[in-house]
Amino acid sequence: MELESLYDLLQLPKGVEPPAEEMLSQGGKKRYLPPTSRKDPKFEELQKVLMEWINTTLLPEHIVVRSLEEDMFDGLILHHLFQRLAALKLEAEDIALTAASQKHKLTVVLEAVNRSLQLEERQAKWSVETIFNKDLLSTLHLLVALAKRFQPSLSLPTNVQVEVITIESTKSGLKSEKSVEQLTEYSTDKDQPPKDVFDELFKLAPEKVNAVKEAIVNFVNQKLDRLGLSVQNLDTQFADGVILLLLIGQLEGFFLHLKEFYLTPNSPAEMLHNVTLALELLKDEGLLSCPVSPEDIVNKDAKSTLRVLYGLFCKHTQKAHRDSTPRGAPN
């Protein structure tokens, strides 16, 4: 390929060197985003939304991301982000200074991410090499997947796609190919998940949320009174799963051996174990009308906590009403 045509293809400004053949081993490939792709409004918006989400999530740890391309490659921020999202502790060194240790750290983090996303390495649109080499497209695919798994309510711009130029080193020189990379999905009405009662409540009648919380707290305290327990703050007291498990046991007649859960959880992983067990019990009883992530409960997401308790509330308040209605009475 002629040098001038390569400049034109990559839309490189004067003074910026195009990739030399010696930089790519024979058969090697490298992807480039031309300026028109980088300046695409939806592409820029996607990066902005993901950056704000990461910075909000990591605010308690005083970590700030300024560039997805430059700040994510060494695994440090991905390490902190995944631990907080998944509420677990990874066996990886906190600070990695050498390239070898950074790659090792990144490997540990991505293996955990792929397990959580139930992806085999060959299915993932990212790898240790691409992330470490600051491949922005791979980093975006990874962050979009994490957002969809752990923060499905995050409003990502839909149908983000960009033109990509792949340069390959062949025996006869550099070969280029244009393609389109799809980063987020199309959005159609039928693709949207059905909204449950709490989606509508928080959106259309936020002033009524506290009244619903108060009714559910009163119900919970009536049921927990015989155990000498009470709930004052619905948003926080269910995060470790203990009260939730005890409540399910009372209402559904389950006996949970102390070996099955952590009565005094001391880590996010132990809290996650408790909440996951509680959600499995509710699912088995048909009391989860919408999918709920255990990580959301551990992270004190009010809407998710209400969803879980609402199923129990409806079942047992209706049961109490039926039991108190005289037989033969009209509906």
pLDDT in tens, 292-309: 888 889 888 888 898 888
Q: What pairs with residue 170 in β-bridges?
A: 173
Indicate the class that CATH gives domain 197-318.
mainly alpha
pLDDT of 189 = 47
The answer to pTM > 0.85 is no
Give the pair of three-digit tokens for residue 135: 């491949």
Give Rg (Cα) of the chain: 25
Residues 6+ apart with CB under 8 A from 90: 79, 82, 83, 108, 109, 112
pLDDT tens digits, residue range 82-138? 998 988 888 877 777 788 888 888 899 999 999 988 888 788 889 999 999 999 999
* pLDDT computed for residue 198 by the predictor: 67
Closest CA to 174 of 23, 12, 325: 23
pLDDT at 16: 41
Q: In this predicted model, what pLDDT tens digit does every residue of 225-276 receive, in sequence order?
A: 888 999 999 889 999 999 999 999 888 887 788 888 999 999 888 999 999 8
The reply to whether 25-182 and 197-318 are identical in fold is yes
Q: What is the average pLDDT value for the chain, to the nearest integer?
A: 81
Collapsing DSSP states into helix, strand and coil, what is residue 262?
Answer: coil
**CATH code given to domain 25-182:** 1.10.418.10
The residue ranges of every structural domain in the chain are 25-182, 197-318
39-48, 185-194, 202-211, 292-301: range with highest mean pLDDT:
39-48
High-pLDDT (> 90) share of the chain, %: 22
